Amino acid sequence: MATYMNMDQLRFLLYEVHGVEDVFQLPRYSNFDKESLEILLDSAKAWADQDWYPYFREMDEKPAYFKDGKVIIHPHVKKIFKDAGDNGWIGMYFDHEHGGMQAPHFIVNAINHIFESANNHMTGYMGLTAGSAHLITTFGKQELIDRFVPNMLNGKWAGTMCLTEPQAGSSLSDVKTMAYAQADGSYKIKGQKIFISGGDHDATSNFVHLVLARIEGAPAGTKGISLFVVPKFLPETEAFNDVITAGDFQKMGQRGYCTTHLVFGENDGCVGWLVGEANLGLKQMFQMMNGARIDVGMTATSTATAAYYASLQYAKERPQGRRIESNGRKNPNQEPALIIEHADVRRMLLKQKSIVEGALSLLLETAKHVDFALEGEGDQKKENHLLLELLTPMAKTFPSERGKEAIDNGLQVLGGYGFCTDFILQQYYRDIRIMSLYEGTTGIQSLDLLGRKITMENGQALQLLMARITETNQEASNYDELKPYVKQLEARLGDVQKVLGRLIPMAMAGDYESFLADATIFMEMASGIVVAYQWIKMATAAKKALVTGTGAFDTAFYESKIHTMKYYFKYELPKAIACLETLMNEEELTIVQEKQEVFG
């Protein structure tokens, strides 16, 4: 079987960089230990090898489709769904009392990396089911939990998140779906939702939709949106609940993961139940959003990881051209070199490696903050919460934006074959394209980062992150080989301060449009620097293992980490300097000006 991810890389990050054992100290996770984690990782990989990866291409070649009011998906999803439910994979992080395993989010994310690298079309079905069940267990009354959650966690029913409407995508304040209160405490739901992932298919017998809607008479804007649970069939009677599937969007990627158009209450027969408090729906939904965004970041990382290994394999096998000899010539009588010997191909491979491993490290660090933000105590809890808030938009955006670039380079490694459907790179290239769109586009993530997270609580989150980076830099400075890179990272952190020194006064003066106009450029700069910090962390761990001889991996493994860090600093980090130039430039070229016809 082709390599689609590397367990050693994952183990290095878990044990030697991010200290996974720390989370076992939290009382909620005291059931876990290194042995159970090891068996979990191996079991996840064995399952992914057996049931996930072999269906990955097929799910693209035989995509989901809509016929006679139904959506048909690849038949193997049904088996996976059932096995996932029977074997406790859907409810991994849920409480024991809800039938879950109380697994740390850190571990759940590591396991998701294995599954998502094997098959990025499949994980969404399970992830959304867990996410929507989690909304019910967190905010819903016991009665709702009892009615819906057990069958979601056991894989009989699927869950979905219904936010988007034709006129309300990025701007959910424009949601129009209505909820009318009934005498028995339930609501009649009426409206349309589009782009609903996993909204209807033949792998499960029922669907539990978590729907954003306005209660009649609720205030306009985000403060008038409530959250409802709306099943396709009523749990008790199995009666149809007037949720009609109007279609399945045909897409360029993730074609095995259906995307539906749902119509609620076309015949006035759709009933829903309020989850949590009225008018707090969006707020509740956003509390869960960090998890969903980390999920997308991990899917992007994993998709780009699989693409990297596919291109690496090809580069090791394809003979083409000859290396230039010391006399500046090539010897035509020599056997052709493998393309992995050409500097330009190595650059493309290193680029991918530095992006995917850097992204994976960032995602795992973010997931660790989730555990401590939920289960930590006092200051530790608060600090982890702030760091989580700050890192989440970057953990979603860096892998989805830079992952695209990585896969583009992976495809380039294959030359013309990369463009052909016989090879898998084109599928990864298409699949990753959605990651910077759903769960909030890159534009929206960037507004969140600069407009909310940087300034949140007087910039405390940023200060905390800076303190962590300084700590890592100090440790790295124990090793002479790493010192020049620490200096570069410090210089880039200084650049961030410079940029904020220019931008923040705009916000303080109330000129928000100018403040946020280049938020996406700021995201590119900041997330690139945060990944450089991840590389310093990884290189420090590698150096430590080499010096002390205590690591679990061989010398070549650790040296490759340090080498890849150096690549990142030479080729990728300087892009932050270009961002700095743009962000410090005072010309305003993108903001709408009166009477200016830019695009005429």
Partner 1 sequence: MKILVCISKTPDTTSKISFVNNGKEFNSEGIQYIMNPYDEWYALVRAVELKEKNGGSVTVINVGDVSSEIVIRKALAIGADEAIRVDVVPESSLQVAKEIAAHAAGYDLVLTGKETIDYNGAEVGAMLAELLDLPYVSFAFKLEKEGEDWLVSREVEGGTETLKVGGPIVLSAAKGMAEQRIPNMQGIMMAKKKPLNVVASIGAEKGSVVASHEMPPAKSGVKMIAPDDMDTLVKLLHEEAKVI
Ligand X SMILES: Cc1cc2nc3c(=O)[nH]c(=O)nc-3n(C[C@H](O)[C@H](O)[C@H](O)COP(=O)(O)OP(=O)(O)OC[C@H]3O[C@@H](n4cnc5c(N)ncnc54)[C@H](O)[C@@H]3O)c2cc1C
Binding site for ligand X (CB under 6 A): 161-164, 169-171, 195-197, 251, 259, 434, 437-438, 440-441, 443-444, 447
Which of 324, 353, 383, 298 has its CA nearest to residue 117?
298
Nearest approach, Cβ of residue 169 and ligand X (Å): 2
Output the smallest distance, CB 1 to ligand X, in A.
28
Nearest residue to the partner ligand X, using Cβ: 169
Catalytic residue, candidates 365, 439, 524, 572: 439
Q: Which is nearer to ligand X, 30 or 170 (CB)?
A: 170
Please say which residue, 111 or 304, places its beta carbon nearer to partner 1.
111
Question: 196 is in the binding site of which of partner 1, ligand X, none (Cβ under 5 to 8 A by kind)?
Answer: ligand X
User: Closer CB to partner 1, residue 46 or residue 577?
Assistant: 46
Distance in Å, CB of 155 to partner 1, minimum: 12
Q: What is the DSSP letter of 73?
A: -
Measured between alpha carbons, how far is 410 from 227 in angstroms, rounded to an integer? 42
Least Å from the CB of residue 410 to ligand X: 22
The smaller minimum CB distance to ligand X, of residues 220 and 591, is found at 591
β-bridge mates for residue 546, sequence order = none
Number of Cβ atoms within 10 Å of the Cβ of 576: 23
Q: Which entry of partner 1, ligand X, none binds 380, CB below 5 to 8 A by partner kind?
A: none
Tokens of 420: 């052909």
Are 108 and 114 a contacting pair, CB within 8 Å? no
State the minimum distance, in angstroms, from the CB of residue 34 to partner 1. Answer: 9
Question: Quick one: 300 or 482, whose CB is closer to ligand X?
Answer: 300
Integer Cα distance of 529 and 524 in angstroms: 9
290 binds, among ligand X, partner 1, none (CB under 5 to 8 A by kind): none
How many Cα neighbours within 13 Å face the side chain of 559? 3
Question: What is the rounded CA–CA span in Å between residue 299 and residue 125?
Answer: 13
Which does residue 205 bind out of ligand X, partner 1, none, counting CB within 5 to 8 angstroms by kind? none
Residue 572 is given by DSSP the state I
Among ligand X, partner 1, none, residue 444 binds (CB under 5-8 Å by kind): ligand X
Q: How far is the CB of 28 from ligand X (least distance, A)?
A: 29
Q: Residue 388: which H helix or E strand, with range?
A: helix 378-413
Q: Which residue has the tokens 């340090």?
A: 562
Q: Among partner 1, ligand X, none, what does residue 43 contact (CB within 5–8 Å per kind)? A: partner 1
Cα 470 to Cα 137, 486, 582: the distances in Å are 39, 9, 26
Number of Cβ atoms within 10 Å of the Cβ of 455: 18
Beta bridge partners of 196: 260
Q: How far apart are CA 338 and CA 322, in angstroms?
A: 8
Q: Give the span between the Cα atoms of 382 and 361, in whole angstroms.
A: 22
Cβ count within 10 A of residue 237: 8
**Conformational region of residue 102, where left means phi above 0, alpha means psi within -120 to 50, and beta covers everything else:** left
Measure the CA–CA gap between 414 and 422, rounded to whole angstroms: 12
Residues within the interface to partner 1 (CB under 8 A): 31, 33, 35-36, 38-40, 42-43, 46-47, 50, 86-89, 92, 101, 103, 553-554
Task: Find out whether 439 and 289 touch, Cβ atoms under 8 Å.
Answer: yes
Give the CA count within 13 Å in the CB-facing half-sphere of 130: 27
Give the residue with the Cβ less far from partner 1, 89 or 264. 89
Least distance (Å) between residue 437 CB and ligand X: 6
Q: How far apart, in whole angstroms, are the C-alpha atoms of residue 471 and residue 186?
A: 53
Q: How far apart are CA 87 and CA 83, in angstroms?
A: 6
Residue 220 tokens read as 């306009």
From the list 191, 40, 201, the residue with the least C-alpha distance to 114 is: 40
Token pair in block for residue 410: 């992976």
Nearer to partner 1, 46 or 578 (CB): 46
DSSP state string for 199-254: -S-SSSSEEEEEEEEEETTPPSSGGGBEEEEEESB-TTT--B-SEEEEEE---SS-
- Residue 101: name its binding partner from ligand X, partner 1, none (Cβ under 5 to 8 Å by kind): partner 1
Which of ligand X, partner 1, none is residue 39 near (CB under 5 to 8 Å by kind)? partner 1
* Dist CA 496 CA 573 (whole Å): 13
- Residue 228: CB minimum distance to ligand X, A: 14
- Among ligand X, partner 1, none, what does residue 195 contact (CB within 5–8 Å per kind)? ligand X
Q: What is the Cα–Cα distance from 429 to 300, expressed in whole angstroms?
A: 11
Place of tokens 């408090």: 277
Q: What is the DSSP secondary structure assignment for residue 165, as one 8-state letter?
A: B
Q: Which does 320 bind (CB under 5 to 8 A by kind): partner 1, ligand X, none?
A: none
Tell me if residue 439 is catalytic: yes
Distance in Å, CB of 190 to ligand X, minimum: 17
Least distance between partner 1 and beta carbon 14 (Å): 15
Enumerate the active-site residues: 439
